[in-house]
Chains A and B, each alone.
Chain A
């Protein structure tokens, strides 16, 4: 995970909290939060090689296909759930959002912005976007539910999910600047702190 993104998320994570990270990858974010915020963190991951990396780091991890359900985590009283750069890979992103907010009072979601101008140029030329942020072709991408910043915020409104905080990232991963002026066109990624 880019360190800039993890810094933003870090800011929203309370000290000593219990955190679950859906699509935790190699566990870097959780590892960082364990070290800096003394959290009790659990990752959820489907890829065995990434799971191995988590275990190597001492990050507790659960093998699970998020699409097959999140209900079993309900009784665990998490303070925060995180889904970084994964929601667009799910079959039911709307369900997942609501489920996360049942697991924990707050959740952090980050997503690539399909409204970013480079994507729009791609589309305008009649092709599915292939950008440094979304490098895979349409037939091999895991991103089956891409959306724009506007789409995502509309979904939150529809589901009565409050956006407590949000940060927009530029191409180089930095925050603010151009990206926050007109996020739907200029942000590469949106980072949200949500509450029901």
Chain B
């Protein structure tokens, strides 16, 4: 599969929900497949909090895309039939404007001064991207977790620009427990001695330990208890492959390894920004969800997983019910999902079939 990577500059800037303004910004995007003549086959993928624009295929630097099991030739989201676009969200650290990019006004990296971005801001920037790519509407906007929130927000914010929304392992707003977990993660970053109140770039260090601990906690919340049991159980890590001498159990080794890898590339200020965006999203805003959804024209497919305790399936159902109360064509499907919250990333025959049939129906 051919991967096309582009860095797109938006000199017109973007007014943010917070009231601040980005005078200009960049989005890095990948696209797969071709836009057809009638421009009716465009699909936008929205990534979850630590994801990026590399959704599918294999890249030398970025490895296998985060949704490669679902997106590709002849897969559920078929790149032979659809023109599929994915961008790194604003505030990220994979090439779009974010804390690690240079602020033109100061000629220094934004760092902690990168403005607070929200799901609404992301959707607005993706709309600008859509216009720039000369795409009249998305046949589908889809994503899991925080990506699902963007798909929902797309259907609310731009009802005429989206035909279908795929909202997977997501909710209309983060729960109190979600916010609490994220705060522990942020606290571990802030309390890292190398964080320097967010100005670690000046000191040529990164708060690696803080990011690592944050990610380790994250991984626990992404997996199900059952999967952890079956995958690691209480097995001891063998001496030869221990990443750290303090490690006893396999599960410790796994978390250490995953945390370490993540801390090598993910920016701490991005971590804080992205989790803040996740915590802050509430599709209902100060109104109720039903009211917020009243203008949706897109068909909705909401998928939940029984093994997901971070964004339980019931949260997805609330979106479906609010949709149905508004006479929106909306479906709610639940699968067992072996991988807890992460289940949305993985192919299973029934999950892929439902996505494929929803796109083509």
Q: How many inter-chain residue pairs (CB < 8 Å) link A and B?
A: 57
Partner of B333, one of A42, A61, A72, A77: A61
- Among the stretches B33-41, B71-79, B351-359, the one at the interface with A is B351-359
- Among the stretches B138-146, B204-212, B261-269, B323-331, the one at the interface with A is B323-331
| Binary per-residue interface labels of chain A (40-69) against chain B in the complex, 1 for a CB within 8 Å, 0 otherwise | 101000001101101111101111100000
Residue of A nearest to B314 (CB): A72
Q: Does A75 contact B (CB under 8 A)?
A: yes
CB distance from B167 to the nearest CB of A (A): 14
Q: Is the CB of B329 within 8 A of A55?
A: no
Q: Is the CB of B327 within 8 A of A63?
A: no
Q: Does B334 contact A (CB under 8 A)?
A: yes
Give every chain A residue within 8 A of B130 (Cβ-Cβ). Answer: none
Partner of B301, one of A42, A55, A57: A55
Give every chain B residue within 8 A of A77 (Cβ-Cβ). Answer: 325
Q: Does B335 contact A (CB under 8 A)?
A: yes
Q: Does B332 contact A (CB under 8 A)?
A: yes
Q: Is the CB of B361 within 8 A of A52?
A: no
Which of chain A's residues 115-160 have a Cβ closer than 8 Å to chain B?
A: none
Q: Is the CB of B325 within 8 A of A63?
A: no
Partner of A76, one of B301, B321, B354: B321
Q: Is the CB of B325 within 8 A of A60?
A: no
Partner of A61, one of B331, B350, B353, B360: B331
Q: Does A18 contact B (CB under 8 A)?
A: yes
* A49, B335: Cα distance in complex, Å: 11
Give every chain B residue within 8 A of A49 (Cβ-Cβ). Answer: 350
* A107, B125: Cα distance in complex, Å: 47
Q: Does B174 contact A (CB under 8 A)?
A: no
The 6 tightest CB contacts between A and B, nearest first, are A58-B361, A56-B357, A55-B357, A62-B332, A60-B329, A63-B334
15 interchain pairs, CB-CB under 8 A: A48-B333, A51-B333, A56-B357, A57-B361, A58-B299, A58-B361, A60-B324, A60-B329, A60-B330, A62-B317, A62-B324, A63-B333, A63-B334, A73-B321, A75-B325
